[in-house]
Amino acid sequence: MTHGSDNWDNLLDPLDPSLRSELIRYGEFVDACYKAFDLDPNSKRHCNCKYGRTQLLDKVGLQNSGYEITKYIYASADINFPIGVSPACMGRWVGYIAVSTDSSVRKLGRRDVIVAFRGTVTRSEWLANFMSSLTPARLDPHNPRPDVKVESGFLNLYTSTDESCKFGLGSCREQLLSEISRLISKYGSEEEMSITLAGHSMGSSLAMLLAYDIGELELNKPINGGVEIPITVFSYGGPRVGNHGFRERCEELGVKVLRVVNVSDPITKLPGMFFNENFTVLGGDNCYTHVGVELPLESLNGKSFSCVHDLDTYLGLLRCPTKKVKKGELMERACGFFKRQKLESWSWQHMATLLQYPRF
C-alpha cells in the first residue's frame, strides 16, 4: 500500500502513519546525497562524494538502514556556457543505487532497490534546469513515441556524457540502466522485488525519467514466470518533467508517483507555471503536466526560498505536519511568492544570484 498499489487511496488525508514513515525514510536516503556531497573547491573530491560506497550510509547516520550501496551515479550536461562563465563541475556525483540486505528483505518481504538523487548544485545543472523547452524523449529505440515529450534540460542531464569525468563512465542513463539491469538479473528470478526512486527538486526529475525509462524498456517485466517489479517514485519538491503524453505513458506503464509538495514552494509550479495541465488552449502536447498523486503540505515559513524549498523543510513537515491546504490556494501562494521576491527575469543567472543556495 505504501508503494502506491492503489495510488495511495485513503492514505493521504489524513496521512497514514506507515506512509509517513516511508516518506521520511526515503527522504533521508536523498538527504544523504547532500550530506555526502563535497562542496570544498580545494578538495580532490570537489563536486563528488566525500566517502566511499561502503562508508557513506554510516557517515551520514544511516548505518542501520538495512541497505548497501552498490553504485554511485554521475551526470553531466552537454551545454554551451555563456562567455566568461567557467564550466566547473560538469560531470559530477548526483546520487547512488542501493539494495536492501538479506536481513532487511526478511522485514520488508521483498528485495528493494533504491535510487536516490540530490538536487541542483553546479552551474551546468542550473543551465540545464532553465532550458525549459519540451522535446520528444525518444528513449525507446524501437518506438520513439514523438508525442511523449519532456523538458530538454532534464533530458540533457540524463543522457549526456562527459568524458572528462574520471569517476562515472557513460551517461547518467547508461550507468543507471546497467546497474538496475544487473540487480534485476541477480535477484528478480528468485525474489519479489521493488524499485523505489527518490529525489529532491532536480533529482526528482531524474527519478521520473528513470522510472519512465525502466517501464518503457520493460526492464521490470517478469523473469522466468515471476511477477512484474513495481516502480515507485517519491518526489520531494519536484518540478514538472513532461507533457500530457508523458504523464499518460507513465500511467500506462504502471509507474506510481507520489509528489510531496510544500505549497509555498515555487519550484513545484515550474516549468509551465501558466501553460500546464490547467491550460487547454495549446493542447496537452505543448503544456507541462505533473505526474502522479500530490501530497500538499503547509509550509513552516513561506518567506524565504531556501526555507520553502529545502529538503530539510520537507522532512520537517513530514515529521511535524501542520494544517492541510486547499488545492485552490496553490497557485495563489506561488504568485504571491513571486510578487514578494520581485522576480522579473527567470534567467539561470538571476536565480543563482537570488538563491545563493546549493540545495535545489
| Banded pLDDT at 169 (limits 50, 70, 90) | confident
Residue 83 above 70 pLDDT? no
Residue 260 above 80 pLDDT? yes
Mean pLDDT of 272-287: 65
C-alpha cell at 324: 492541510
Q: Look at 229 and 47; give whichever has higher pLDDT.
A: 229
Active site residue 309: yes
CATH number of domain containing 268: 3.40.50.1820
| Banded pLDDT at 233 (limits 50, 70, 90) | very high
pLDDT in the model for residue 307: 82
| Banded pLDDT at 289 (limits 50, 70, 90) | very high
What does the pLDDT look like over 51-74, one tens digit per residue?
Answer: 999 999 999 999 999 999 999 999
Q: Which of 171, 201, 235, 264 is catalytic?
A: 201
pLDDT in the model for residue 131: 56
Q: Which of 76, 162, 309, 310 is catalytic?
A: 309
Kindly state whether residue 7 falls inside one of the protein's structural domains: no
Q: Look at 72 and 82; give whichever has higher pLDDT.
A: 72
pLDDT in the model for residue 5: 79
Kindly state whether residue 277 falls inside one of the protein's structural domains: yes
Active site residue 265: yes
313 is in which domain, residue-wise? 17-355
**15 near 260, Cβ under 8 Å?**
no
Q: Which of 31, 112, 265, 310 is catalytic?
A: 265
Domain count, the chain: 1
pLDDT in the model for residue 79: 54
Kindly state whether residue 341 falls inside one of the protein's structural domains: yes
pLDDT in the model for residue 110: 95
Mean pLDDT of 115-131: 69
pLDDT in the model for residue 4: 78
Q: How many CB atoms lie within 10 A of CB 312?
A: 13
Kindly state whether residue 70 falls inside one of the protein's structural domains: yes
Kindly state whether residue 21 falls inside one of the protein's structural domains: yes
Question: Which DSSP string corresponds to 84-112?
Answer: T----S-SEEEEEEEEE-HHHHHHHSSEE
pLDDT in the model for residue 357: 35
For residue 113, with 0-12 CB atoms within 10 Å meaning exposed, 13-18 middle and 19 or more buried, which class applies?
Answer: buried
Kindly state whether residue 189 falls inside one of the protein's structural domains: yes
Residue 245 above 60 pLDDT? yes
What does the pLDDT look like over 13-34, one tens digit per residue?
Answer: 999 999 999 999 999 999 999 9
Active site residue 290: no
- How far apart are the C-alpha atoms of 103 and 110, rounded to whole Å? 11
Mean pLDDT of 102-117: 96
172-181, 272-281, 302-311: which has the minimum mean pLDDT? 272-281
Q: Mean pLDDT over all residues of the chain?
A: 82
Pick from 320, 323, 316: nearest CA to 298: 323
Kindly state whether residue 3 falls inside one of the protein's structural domains: no
Mean pLDDT of 184-200: 95
Q: Which residues contact 354 (CB under 8 A, 6 or more apart)?
A: 305, 341, 343
pLDDT in the model for residue 11: 95
Residue 91 above 50 pLDDT? yes
What does the pLDDT look like over 296-347, one tens digit per residue?
Answer: 998 655 555 568 889 999 999 999 865 454 544 544 544 544 444 443 333 3
Pick from 281, 291, 138, 288: nearest CA to 217: 138
Which residues, listed in sequence order, are joined to residue 199 by a DSSP beta bridge? 117, 235
Helix (H) or strand (E) holding 38: none
Share of the chain above pLDDT 90, in %: 61
Helices (H), the chain: 17-36, 56-59, 102-108, 123-129, 152-159, 172-187, 202-216, 244-252, 305-309, 311-319, 330-341, 348-355
pLDDT in the model for residue 280: 55
pLDDT in the model for residue 128: 52
Q: Look at 174 and 300; give whichever has higher pLDDT.
A: 174
Which residues, listed in sequence order, are joined to residue 66 by a DSSP beta bridge? none
Kindly state whether residue 65 falls inside one of the protein's structural domains: yes
Q: Which residues contact 178 (CB under 8 A, 6 or more apart)?
A: 170
- Give the DSSP letter of residue 1: -
Query: CA angle, 127 as apex, 213 and 119 as ends, to 5°?
Result: 60
